[in-house]
Amino acid sequence: MKLYFVRHASASDISASDAARKLTNEGCEEARVAGKALVKLGAKPARIFSSPLVRARQTAEILGTSKVRIFTFHRVRERDKAMPRVAEILAEMAEAAGRRGVYLLVENEGSCNVATCAEAAGLLKMVPSKWLGFNWDCLNGVGYKENPFPEAYSLIPKDRLGNVHIKGRSVLPGPNHMDWKAVFQALERDGYRGQIGLETHIKEDLIRNSHDSMREMIRLVEG
């Protein structure tokens, strides 16, 4: 697995907010040059993830992505009261992205206002836009006592599922191991046609564990 990191190109200093700063003409050209450089390197990324900031989203568009992973702000104590405003912001972002043919995928993340599949399903119900989907990070709801499969998986609106993260700990032997063969079968049964990627997240001996995780994923697919 190869990872390519590309910083957003030059952006204007004049804007209503930092998040709304757009690429300058020079920045657009910088992004195109970066794209050509990636082509020369033979890079053919299966997925491109980008910050939802305007300048980052524009850079991602120039590089050819159709999906951008986003999060739902740092989790607050009175989360339920905050969610209507979160939904309002994401609805605006989704429509803006949709006008450019880009899907925004909310990831469930423990430190954010959407940490579980149940919370993701609630948000997607609040924002029915087809341009807002879900990036399922399988183990991120465990800290909230959510069982990833089959319980949590069953809550995901399958027509809004745009990407699946496999944590290394969930595919290798250990307390967080999941039955990924059953998950793959469920995804196929439910008509999933998106991507499935590895997010190792094992700090000890990261490279070896990444290779072991990928070999196990390939074995499951080919087996």
Exposure string of 37-67, with b = 16+ CB inside 10 Å and e = fewer, is ebeeeeeeeeebbbbbbbbbbbbbbbbebeb
What is the predicted pLDDT for the residue at 83? 97
Does 7 have pLDDT greater than 70? no
Instruction: State pLDDT tens for residues 106-132.
Output: 999 999 999 999 999 999 999 999 999
Considering Cα of 35, then 41, then 45, then 50, what sign does the dihedral take?
Answer: negative
Residue 177 sits in which domain range? 66-222
Instruction: State pLDDT tens for residues 13-56.
Output: 777 676 667 777 787 777 777 777 777 777 766 666 666 567 66
DSSP state of 22: P
> Is 9 inside a domain boundary?
no
What's the structural domain count of the chain?
1
> Is 38 inside a domain boundary?
no
What is the predicted pLDDT for the residue at 177? 96
Q: Which residue has the higher pLDDT, 32 or 221?
A: 221
Instruction: State pLDDT tens for residues 183-209.
Output: 999 999 999 999 899 988 888 898 999
- Helices marked H in the chain — which ranges? 25-40, 54-63, 79-98, 117-126, 153-155, 168-171, 180-189, 206-222
Cα Rg of the chain (Å, integer): 18
SS3 content of the chain, % helix, strand, coil (to 5): 45, 15, 40
Range with the lowest mean pLDDT among 21-25, 148-152, 155-159? 21-25
Considering Cα of 22, then 24, then 25, then 30, what sign does the dihedral take?
Answer: negative
Does 163 have pLDDT greater than 90? yes
> Is 192 inside a domain boundary?
yes
Whole-number mean pLDDT of the chain? 87
Distance CA 45, CA 34 (A): 14
Q: Which residue has the higher pLDDT, 64 or 178?
A: 178
> Is 175 inside a domain boundary?
yes
pTM for the model: 0.77
At residue 102 the predicted structure's pLDDT band, cuts being 50, 70 and 90, is confident
> Is 117 inside a domain boundary?
yes
> Is 215 inside a domain boundary?
yes
At residue 1 the predicted structure's pLDDT band, cuts being 50, 70 and 90, is low
CATH number reported for the structural domain that contains residue 192 in this entry: 3.20.20.150
> Is 146 inside a domain boundary?
yes
Distance CA 194, CA 74 (A): 27
> Is 35 inside a domain boundary?
no
